[in-house]
Amino acid sequence: MTPGPADKPFEKLTLEEKASLTSGRDTWHTTGLPGTLRPLTLADGPHGIRRQVKGSGDALGLTDSVPATCFPPAVTLGSSWDAGLARRVGAALAREASALGVDVVLGPGVNIKRSPLCGRNFEYFSEDPHLTGVMAAAVVDGVQSLGIGACVKHFAVNNQETDRMRVSAEVDEATLREIYLAAFERIVRGSAPAMVMCSYNRINGVYASENRWLLTEVLCEEWGFDGVVVSDWGAVNDRVAALEAGLDLEMPPTRTDQEIVDAVRDGRLAEEAVDRAAGRLRALAGRLDGAGRFEDWDAAAHHELAREAARASAVLLKNDGGVLPLDPRARQRVAVIGELAATPRYQGHGSSHVVPTRLDSAWDALNAAAGPETTLTFAAGYRLDGAADAGLAGSAAAVAGAADVALVFLGLPDEAESEGFDRTTLDLPAVQTDLLREVAAACPRVVVVLANGGVVTVSEWQDSAAAILEAWLPGQAGGTAIADLLLGAHSPSGRLTETIPERLADVPSYLHFPGADGRVVYGEGRYVGYRHHDTLETAVAYPFGHGLTYTRFEYADLAVRETGPNAWTVECTVTNTGERAAAEVVQLYVAFDEERPTRPRHELRGFAKTELEPGAAARVSFALTGRDIARWSAARGGWRIDPGRFTVEVGASSRDIRLRAELETPGDGYAAPLGRMSTLGEWLDHPVGRRVLLARLGNAPGLTGAAQGSPALFELARGIPLAKFGTFGIGLSGDVVDELVAEVAAGA
């Protein structure tokens, strides 16, 4: 809004007026000032716009919202490994937000899947920060391409629902930087989201909403974020402390603005903090006012986009004997078993719940797509509430016994996955797995289709199925998308964004999640998901990045070209050697071969999804930078590139590496400063320290003897701080050590 002649200039606002801008007007609107600043409308929207119906009796509108397209949630969209598709979904969300009068979409969620038990994992992309960052940035870019703001959440380390409003995530800085902050950093630096939403939890004892290190030093000063920092709804505990720490907007309003005014008057809060927050809200309103508004959207086109996204994201885990795809023109009897085929599970519960514009079931879609020679028969098989029903199971087994192939739809019930609580098991309901065994005993060819927002274990029942299609929560068009894949109209192209473990006890966070006594220790450190499993070479059901399709791909001609200091281009050729068109997801990993691991064995650093006709080939290229081989150094307080050799790996999953090349980096030239308490080993490994020290060794016979003696004695000596050698009578007095430190400082 541009001030008119009678409008009050922003610079002339009173302290009370500026303070009023730092809290919402109500649940879904920021505070406006007539003639100066209009209020902004916010709405949940990670995978669909949840615009509350006016006059709804539900305070948050969780069960009463305007119909909008329910796109596949992040668990599903992430499995597409297709940033272009994610951007298109983001743009469609923006079009609907604009038509519904929404200024800022509260999404995407980019928290890392530390544990598969997290009840909100369906709203998150991956266990890997690179994949999460790329896919979420694409959504942000799509949303903001039409002048609507995106709000990235939940900042930070919000990886469980248990005690989520109070729990303290105890995590070291290297783990924070490399795993839990990395996706946020990529999005903030590259996509400039309108808002970042702080999380409820504490981080190392400090609430995220009051964490100056997180909200100001890292987010704004280091990464350059200049948008609005907003609280999660109800995350503010101390409004003055939050504003001082860098939180600009409390939502919804829970305290009076007088708290801010009084704190300034009393000298407990600098007025500059109020000016900063109010100024950011003003800047955001100006940024969003520059775009035109849409009156409506093409509901049919958006439904088709939702279908495409669901189709591109389903992961074919298993396909023994090529049981899939089914030929819709063949004479065959197909049993469709499972209530989830007729009553689809397509999204999770909580603040992201969308009222869809329409809803496709797989049963209806299969009937519409199957040819006249195919006979389809349905049996519910089980109740959605998990109660045993022998009659339903028996009828389903009978239907399966008369069929050539059985399509068995299994999954988690609605109440199993939601914001607000975590799961306690990775198992499917027992009534479903018992049914599967009965069906498998009656029918020789069984295909399982899964509907779930979080990983489920498959090891105990997958031998009963020839094929498994993981459809996740596929959104409102998921039923049709599933039929497209089962009947071969399209080839599956989704890949796992998280490891499927053999059992819950194999998950790296198993002994720590979800904590106790108000604390959860991230004891597994950086070894999350495949970083743990691949470093230790533990058995998994299906690895990160895995996914089959209806054709085969070959990888060849790996070429690596240095393009600058610690910069390379990595290329390879991928060929479709099968008989069907399909897409391959080529994955680039950087690997470190260490006798005793000090970091994950390898980490994803790039991916490209390539659609190829039979016989066609494509050249795939990746850019590799110094940041891709860096690690966070607590001692340095920054990123560090160690000199030495490393390997680039190109493959189809974290455990299906097809091509490798060994490279060498000189490092970044950094050498840690040496002091009196630096060990002999640190002195000898330091480029300047080694030269200075060896020049003095003639004056320290005991030290020289240790260096020339047995390997065991030398290793013992390497671990001793230099200042301690005088204690053991080895001729390095305190004065000599001080001189050595001074020489190194002068020569570094």
Strand partners, 585: 609
Of all residues in the chain, what percent are helix, strand and coil, respectively (each to 5)? 35, 20, 45
Give backbone dihedrals phi and psi of 516, rounded to 5 degrees, phi first. Answer: -160, 160
Q: Take residue 70 and report the two structure tokens written for it.
A: 């329910």
Q: Take residue 682 and report the two structure tokens written for it.
A: 């640190």
Strand partners, 421: 418
Q: Evaluate whether 386 touches 317 at the Cβ level (below 8 Å).
A: no
Spatial CA neighbour of 654 closest among 496, 425, 521: 496
Please state whether beta strands 168-170 and 202-203 pair in parallel, antiparallel, or not at all (unpaired): parallel
Provide DSSP, 702-733: HHHHHHHS-HHHHHHHHTSBGGGTTTTTSS--
711-715: long-range contacts, CB 8 A cutoff, minimum separation 24: none
Q: Which residues have a catalytic role annotated?
A: 232
Left if phi > 0, otherwise alpha if psi is -120 to 50, otherwise beta: which for 389? beta
Strand partners, 587: 607, 651
Left if phi > 0, otherwise alpha if psi is -120 to 50, otherwise beta: which for 18? alpha
Distance CA 106, CA 282 (A): 19
Q: Evaluate whether 526 touches 592 at the Cβ level (below 8 Å).
A: no
3-state secondary structure of 385: coil
Q: Evaluate whether 135 touches 85 at the Cβ level (below 8 Å).
A: no
Spatial CA neighbour of 124 closest among 605, 455, 589, 411: 455
Tell me the CA end-to-end span of the chain in Å, nearest whole number: 56
Number of neighbours of residue 699 by Cβ within 10 angstroms: 12
**Helical segments of 490-560, H only:** 530-536
Q: Take residue 288 and report the two structure tokens written for it.
A: 């969003």
Q: Which amino acid is at 216?
A: T
Q: Take residue 725 and report the two structure tokens written for it.
A: 């050698």
Distance CA 280, CA 333 (A): 63
Distance CA 216, CA 264 (A): 19
Integer angstrom CA distances of residue 686 from 661, 690, 702, 714 = 29, 6, 21, 17
Distance CA 88, CA 74 (A): 14
Q: Evaluate whether 593 touches 542 at the Cβ level (below 8 Å).
A: no
Q: What angle do CA 368, 371, 373 make, to 5 degrees?
A: 135
In sequence order, the 6+-apart residues with CB closer than 8 A to the CB of 541 are: 457, 458, 459, 462, 500, 501, 502
Integer angstrom CA distances of residue 463 from 335, 400, 467 = 19, 17, 9
Strands in 553-564's sheet, in edge-to-edge order, are 553-564, 567-576, 617-624
In sequence order, the 6+-apart residues with CB closer than 8 A to the CB of 415 are: 349
Spatial CA neighbour of 639 closest among 219, 214, 224, 177: 177
